[in-house]
Amino acid sequence: MTEGRAGSLRGRLLRRLAILLAIPLLIGSLSAYWNGRAAADAAYDRTLLASARAIADGLYTEDGRLRADVPYVALDPFAYDLQGRIFYQVGDLQGQLVSGYADLPPPPPGTPRTDDYPALASFYDGEYQGVGVRLVSLLQPVSEPGMNGMAEIRVAESDVARERMARGLLLDTLWRMGLLALITLALVWLAVSAALRPLERLRAAVEERQPDDLRPLPLVEVQDELHPLVASLNHFTERLRQQFERQAQFIADASHELRTPLAALKARIELGLREREPALWHATLEKAAQSTDRLTHLANQLLSLARIERAARAIAEGGAQRVELAALVRELAMALAPLAHQRGVALALEAEEGVCIQGEPTLLNELVYNLVDNALAHTPPGGNLILRVMAPAALEVEDDGSGIPVEERERVFERFYRRNPQGGGAGLGLAIVGDICRAHLAQIGLHEGTGGGLRVRVDFPGVRAPD
């Protein structure tokens, strides 16, 4: 199965930064457009008012009627605007057309007068001849003999020039800000590339190592943000190295434990082959069978240790099952009852129902079997062995044998440790128990029994009993 790739960290950072830069770029562009349009309106409004004032200066009376002499300078400010158009209208005191375009739109009702200029002027937007226009309405006082009132001068200009000026400002702003954004991204690319060089050096250092080189990674020239990562890698490498060392030690110990009984079995068989009496052959075969049984038991224990590691990984990955502890212990106790009876040991079970744990049934069965087998081995004939299952999630195995001294209770969980080297055991029973407890996150403790023997208690992480 191919693992999905998250892509380049550098590329992801640049893409996200580009998105972040696009937001202020858009906001800045809109702001530049509106500011540019406001600046264009202010500039062109001033020109409109100047044109209206120039026309107002050309007003005069003749034969009792208002006349307008529109000077060329009134239209001159727009002469350089080849796309814009200028319209004007002069109305007399009664609102009758004196000069210009008769159908220029009047100011909408309620249009305020401007406070920006010392004039009786109002600016407003409208539409004329199918195009948008900006207009100014200027009231010009007229005081002549027989004529006293206000004349109105309207000057309109199409929005083409204003829009072109605002778009020019917008495009200029976009170009400058876009160039600035590209320069910023290029600088960020260089900065990120420089910041990621320690990661590249770490990658090269790991790539150049041999498969068996588990030395810690160097922390020199590594940024503070990378120290936790490198420390975690070093911690993982150290645990891996320890695991390899444990495996190597286990293989060496297992080889040693197997070599001695195999050599003894081979020597016994060779000795039996030299004998000529059938009775001696039979005795040799019986001893060889006993040695074979011990070897088989040792091999099964070694296989159990290997199986524990696989099951521990499965449990850690969520492969645990719900197990009713009392049922499991009861079934095993019934299977071992004949063996206990054969050895003259009274086997009793005290179990509370409804005690459930999460675990691997085969390993749990192995745990209980090893505890009971170890207790039977150290309980004298006529003794008692009690199995207890207690809430919330505890198991106890108590015997009235010789017990284990306090100073040795930690060492008995070590692999191949034997309190009595002449006893014949391989020293793996309690080691298997300890590994199974660790795989199930259980706590195991050795205590003195009520009858002077040994009481082993295992506390499991409990789960709620089913309703």
Q: Indicate whether 54 belongs to any domain.
A: yes
How many structural domains compose the chain? 2
- Domain assignment present for residue 80? The answer is yes
pLDDT at 107 over 70: yes
Q: Which of 144, 168, 192 is the last residue of a domain?
A: 168
**378: in domain:** yes
pLDDT at residue 122 in the model: 92
Is residue 145 a part of any domain in this protein? yes
Please tell me which residue, 4 or 285, carries the higher pLDDT value.
285
**Residue-wise pLDDT tens digits, 337-369:** 888 888 898 989 888 888 888 888 888 888 888
Task: Tell which wins on pLDDT, 394 or 163.
Answer: 394
- Give the domain CATH number at 412: 3.30.565.10
Which CATH number do you get for residue 99? 3.30.450
In a domain, 310, yes or no: no
Most confident among 311-315, 338-342, 402-406 (mean pLDDT)? 338-342
Residue where one domain finishes, among candidates 148, 168, 188: 168
The whole domain housing 79 covers 10-168
Mean pLDDT of the chain: 78
pLDDT at 137: 93
Entry pTM: 0.47
User: What is the pLDDT at residue 74?
Assistant: 64
DSSP of 374-440: HHHHHSPTT-EEEEEEETTTEEEEEE-S----GGGTTGGGSTT--SSGGG---S-HHHHHHHHHHHT
* 210 within a domain of the structure (yes/no): no
> Are 364 and 436 a contacting pair, CB within 8 Å?
yes
Q: In 3-state terms, what secondary structure has residue 97?
A: strand
Per the domain annotation, does 56 fall within a domain?
A: yes
- Measured CA to CA, the distance from residue 316 to residue 305 in angstroms comes to 17
- Give mean pLDDT, residues 165-191: 79
Q: What is the mean pLDDT of residues 237-243?
A: 76
Binned at pLDDT 50, 70 and 90, residue 167 comes out as: confident
The predicted pLDDT at position 46 comes to 86
271 assigned to some structural domain: no
Residue 80's Cα: distance from chain center in Å? 63
pLDDT confidence band for 79 (50 / 70 / 90): very low
> What is the model's pLDDT at position 1?
42
Q: What are phi and psi of 166, to 5 degrees?
A: -65, -40
Which residue, of 113, 134, 168, is where some domain finishes? Answer: 168
